[in-house]
Structure 1
Amino acid sequence: MTTTPAAVTMYSTTWCGYCLRLKKMMEREGIPFAEVDIETDPQAADLVMQANGGNRTVPTLVFPDGSALTNPSIDQVKAQLAQLPEA
């Protein structure tokens, strides 16, 4: 079994309905992602706050090029991935 490297890191919480919905959509679209719970990882919470003007807004997605999207639609995620240079 080979594992596909995560294309995206999703910063989320266990209780976030928007996070759960986006995770299901990304899984359905076959978009690999790593998930980080900002409530158990203080450094992740700091990163999310830096990306969102001091707010702990989730889901926040960070892409390999360092770009970030906050609470994006699945179409926004796919568009952002399409703009990334191929590895």
Structure 2
Amino acid sequence: MMRRWGLSLGLLTLALLIGGVRLAQGDRGEAVVWLVVYGLLAALVSPLAFPRGAGAAEARRRSAEDGRPIVYWRPGCRYCMMLRLRLLGVAGRAHWVDIWRDPDGAAAVRAVAGGNETVPTVVLADGEAHINPSPAWLRARLR
């Protein structure tokens, strides 16, 4: 659980430390900037920025039923975050699996990525896997 939130908590801690120092030095404006900017970054890299996902087994079952792709991701991954942000509006049409939360999901990624946990990895309903696909490619499959 802590590993999933580590980057977000680290960014918040940094914001509080530097913001506190700036505030103590009398620079309120810079303190607010640090708190706002790093607070937003912490929210973006947190697990909250992604849809609540099912486990890998449930995602595979649902994908077989509805034909939607499965996106394997992990918190703090900048490529996952960029993919998620560029899919605004259609990201909910995929089944999202956090590989740090689901060991079966991590194993599924290792099976198609040569033993590595390279994310984002997208697996289509027919079993075809794509490692770090372009957002445009995935968006076309989600429509």
> What TM-score, normalized to structure 1?
0.75
Q: Percent identity?
A: 36
Alignment of 1:44 onto 2:91: no
What residue number does 2:72 align with? 11
| Larger of the two Rg values belongs to structure | 2
Q: Which runs of 4+ in 1 moved over 4 A?
A: none
- Paired residues, number: 76
What residue number does 1:60 align with? 121
Where in structure 1 are there 5+ consecutive unaligned residues? Answer: 83-87
Q: Which has the higher contact order (CA 8 A, sep 6+)?
A: 1
> What TM-score, normalized to structure 2?
0.48
RMSD: 2.0
TM-superposed deviation, 1:78? 4.7
Measured in 2, the distance between the counterparts of 1:26 and 1:66 equals 21
Alignment of 1:25 onto 2:61: no
Does structure 1 conserve the Cα–Cα contact (< 8 Å) formed by 2:87 and 2:139? Answer: no
> Residue 27 of structure 1: SS of its match in structure 2?
coil
Q: Give the letter for the 1:16 counterpart.
A: C
Where in structure 2 are there 5+ consecutive unaligned residues? Answer: 1-65
Measured in 2, the distance between the counterparts of 1:33 and 1:22 equals 12
More strand by share: 1
Q: Give the letter for the 1:27 counterpart.
A: L
Q: Deviations over 1:10-32 (max 9, x none)?
A: 1000111110111122234x351
More helix by share: 2
TM-superposed deviation, 1:48? 0.1
